[in-house]
């Protein structure tokens, strides 16, 4: 019997990258998994198909994490279809980079809406359905306390808020037997990262080369490695881990 057999998980932003890897890993561990997506449903359908091909149960729900009503509806739909909710993985996030000199207020508002408010709303709705053994797992970023490049101030602001919220929610929910933890990935090899780093800095080479050089293990991480940490926190063995901000960055911030 897998460690999450009989459990139900919701992964926001689960159609690609870290979210897709997390959804597949939780399904592999026995959970029924719902994922949200905000753009095209093609990649979400591929994740669902992969889970079902492995004998699991999965559901894709269109829900923009900037829309509080859509987030609430996604939680409700997960419970309606699968009958319960045990694990929430707050993965959905956006990154709009730029220095303060010309950073658009509209981009600031959108970053806060998705990365902070969307996460809060999903958590608030999810805990209405959770009992003893519930798990809230946030996907933050090492950028919350380590920013090696200019242009990431607002992104780091939102991820710093996630880290602080994690600690506070652990106190709120601990008496109910619900744990709240925050995983802080470093440079993980996803489409989003690769689109950003495979460019040349005049006179300095590619950004990818510079970033890899700053990582202790000299490589980018994989989404599957992050998913492994999520699976541990979702399971019974992590019942005494709460309020933690756990880095998985290959030693980049060591």
Distance CA 127, CA 111 (A): 24
Task: Yes or no: say if 53 and 45 are a contact pair by the CB < 8 Å rule.
Answer: no
Active site (annotated) includes residue 240: no
Q: pLDDT tens track of the chain, all 254 residues?
A: 689 999 999 999 999 999 999 999 999 999 999 999 998 799 999 999 999 999 999 999 999 999 999 999 999 999 999 999 999 999 999 999 899 999 999 999 999 999 999 999 999 999 999 999 999 999 999 999 988 778 889 999 999 999 999 999 999 999 999 999 999 999 998 876 666 655 544 555 567 777 888 899 999 999 999 999 999 999 999 999 999 999 999 999 98
Encoding tokens for residue 116? 């902070």
The pLDDT, as a whole number, for residue 200 is: 46
Q: What pLDDT score was predicted for residue 2?
A: 85
DSSP state of 215: S
Report the 10 Å Cβ neighbour count for 30: 16
The pLDDT of residue 94 is 93
Residue 176 Cα distances to 46, 81, 129, 133, 183, angstroms:
36, 24, 12, 8, 22
Fold of 8-186+222-247: Rossmann fold (3.40.50)
The structure tokens listed for 181 are 């933890």
State how far the Cα of 63 lies from the Cα of 27, in Å rounded to an integer: 21
pLDDT at 1: 62
pTM of full prediction above 0.85: yes
Choose the catalytic residue: 103, 146, 155, 240. Answer: 155
Distance CA 129, CA 113 (A): 23
Q: Structural domain boundaries of the chain?
A: 8-186+222-247, 192-220
CA distances to 38, 109, 154, 165, 233 from 133, rounded to whole Å, are 29, 34, 34, 20, 11
């Amino acid at each position: 019997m897998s460690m999450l057999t009989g459990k139900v998980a919701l992964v926001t932003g689960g159609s690609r990258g870290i979210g897709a890897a997390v959804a597949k890993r939780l399904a592999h561990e026995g959970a029924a998994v719902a994922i949200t997506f905000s753009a095209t449903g093609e990649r979400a359908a591929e994740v669902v198909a992969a889970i079902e091909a492995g004998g699991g149960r999965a559901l894709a729900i269109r829900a923009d994490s900037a829309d509080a009503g859509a987030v609430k509806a996604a939680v409700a739909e997960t419970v309606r279809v699968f009958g319960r909710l045990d694990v929430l993985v707050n993965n959905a996030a956006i990154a709009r980079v730029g220095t303060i000199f010309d950073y658009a207020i509209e981009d600031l508002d959108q970053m806060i809406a998705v990365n902070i408010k969307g996460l809060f709303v999903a958590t608030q709705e999810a805990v209405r359905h959770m009992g003893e053994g519930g798990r809230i797992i946030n996907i933050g970023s090492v950028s919350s306390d380590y920013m090696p490049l200019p242009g990431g101030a607002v992104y780091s602001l939102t991820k710093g808020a996630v880290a602080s919220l994690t600690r506070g929610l652990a106190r709120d929910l601990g008496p109910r037997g619900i744990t709240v933890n925050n995983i802080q990935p470093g440079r993980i090899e996803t489409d989003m990262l690769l689109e950003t780093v495979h460019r040349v800095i005049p006179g300095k080479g590619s950004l990818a080369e510079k970033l890899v050089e700053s990582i202790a293990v000299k490589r980018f991480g994989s989404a599957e490695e992050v998913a492994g940490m999520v699976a541990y926190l979702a399971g019974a063995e992590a019942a005494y881990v709460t309020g933690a901000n756990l880095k998985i960055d290959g030693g980049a911030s060591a």
